[in-house]
Chain A
């Protein structure tokens, strides 16, 4: 490996020097080959020693790999849309959107979810690109949080999971309206700053896009976004799988003694499970010991914040984003889900 560029400042803390070295040290072909060989050797040793064959390890590996397999194509869809926005949409289009009053941008962004039917993983790179190109941060965040809740595929699966006419209409109406409300509230609470204050700058190498013919720039943007988001999905999936393989689901489910605790318990379950919003209604419907209001809290929070998303948000936005997102949405979701439960009882 070759050390390049890094000139340590006098009195710089050790961790900063390490970080700088990590970011600037280039990897030689020989070192890259050795690292790849070590990785393959490690996999062979783990396999031969039977370390992956224990029940807990198998459960972890299966859940981990299935979350990644399910989420990565959606990341790819988001990266496709993000690259198309970056390369093919002219600057003047974003200038026109940015000049619109927030009162128009916000509902437009919230309802934009109908036109972008993918899960939460795909909406993050699109929102990042929109904000980076001048769309108001409030509108960008609102779009990101609303699209996984109100897109037609999600609403249809919610209707089916709740037995159609049995309770489907009420849950779909509750999910869509509370999802929109929470997304708009979070957008307003979080997006008051400029895009530069909201977005975390990317490491240099990921920003090195090709400039040239549209197709080359498009594929460069696509691959950079996909690889950037992909590694955080891997990390988030690992955390979620670890919790699922170690903490019994029924343990959390037993916490729901009062309506507020019940809603908070199911929101904790939604946060840990990191389910796709197209599937979570089937799980929510199975929590029959919980009220419909608590189930609605599960359905609304899951697509807004979960373990894998928190890692993805942490990489996309500044460090304060996730705590403020939870502060802006959790009390609103708890209160609204209690009101929902009271109305439909």
Chain B
């Protein structure tokens, strides 16, 4: 007996509606989307759910037989299930040192975040911008000797001053596809890449770069929200 294509279409639509509802209710959408696009999840959940209900209502009201599911359409519908399978394969994963080697190594001269409330609250992005923008550095109070506290992962990047290792966080604007790794060198020998550390210490200049000379390095668990955002 062949399958009514409308049931298969409605089923896939319903799965996507359910997935967006789960993302919304569980609050896990920030593992994929930035703060600018968080609204997409409740919007998608509501509209997809309404579309599923409307489609199901239309199916129930239409008494005549619908089109049968062909191999071609079945393939298309299975393709739409692949992203759901992808999410289920890496439910708690986050971009790490491998991704940093692919999505990093660029500058941030025009991205101007608000200066931190206190100089000691300076983030990875603030410190990187202050390296090339003396106006921002003055405004934010980022200078050699400043005490900072940074939580990030070790990248294994070689693009750091000798005798340092890179601690980094990913910054995102809309979604992980636009993520950029922003790293700050820390004096000393770092542990294995992807290790999360809390580093407290003072900034010093080595050439063009600010380097953290640590007073205290503590291995920590990855934070619930591993990404920071380009909030400017």
**A199 to B34, alpha carbons, bound, how many Å?**
35
Please state if B8 and A32 are interface contacts (CB–CB under 8 Å): yes
Q: List, in ascending order, chain A residues with CB within 8 A of B102's CB.
A: 59, 244-249
**A280 to B111, alpha carbons, bound, how many Å?**
12
Please state if B79 and A234 are interface contacts (CB–CB under 8 Å): yes
Q: Classify chain A's interface size.
A: 35 or more
Q: Classify chain B's interface size.
A: 35 or more
Please state if B70 and A161 are interface contacts (CB–CB under 8 Å): no
Please state if A64 and B58 are interface contacts (CB–CB under 8 Å): no
Q: List, in ascending order, chain B residues with CB within 8 A of A77's CB.
A: 47
Q: Does A203 contact B (CB under 8 A)?
A: yes
Interface residue SS majority, chain A: helix
Q: List, in ascending order, chain B residues with CB within 8 A of A203's CB.
A: 72-73
Partner of A220, one of B43, B55, B69, B232: B55
Partner of A235, one of B72, B79, B99, B112: B79
Q: Does A120 contact B (CB under 8 A)?
A: no
Q: List, in ascending order, chain A residues with CB within 8 A of B105's CB.
A: 248-250, 253
Q: Does A265 contact B (CB under 8 A)?
A: no
Interface residue SS majority, chain B: helix
Write the nearest CB–CB distance from B76 to chain A, whole angstroms: 5
Please state if B62 and A219 are interface contacts (CB–CB under 8 Å): no
**A185 to B95, alpha carbons, bound, how many Å?**
40
Please state if B89 and A43 are interface contacts (CB–CB under 8 Å): yes
Q: List, in ascending order, chain A residues with CB within 8 A of B99's CB.
A: 55, 59, 62, 245
Q: List, in ascending order, chain B residues with CB within 8 A of A204's CB.
A: 67
**A218 to B95, alpha carbons, bound, how many Å?**
40
- What are the 9 tightest A-B residue pairs by CB atom distance, in nearest-first order? A279-B174, A55-B98, A288-B107, A73-B44, A66-B176, A250-B105, A219-B54, A216-B58, A52-B89
| Other A-B pairs, 14, CB within 8 Å; known A163-B232, A276-B174 | A23-B71, A24-B70, A52-B89, A53-B90, A62-B99, A67-B177, A204-B67, A205-B5, A205-B72, A208-B5, A222-B51, A227-B12, A237-B83, A283-B180
Q: Show the binding face of B for A, using Cβ within 8 Å.
A: 1-3, 5, 8-10, 12-13, 16, 20, 23, 29, 32-34, 36-37, 40-41, 43-44, 47-48, 51, 54-55, 57-58, 61-62, 66-83, 85-90, 93-99, 101-112, 132, 173-178, 180, 230, 232
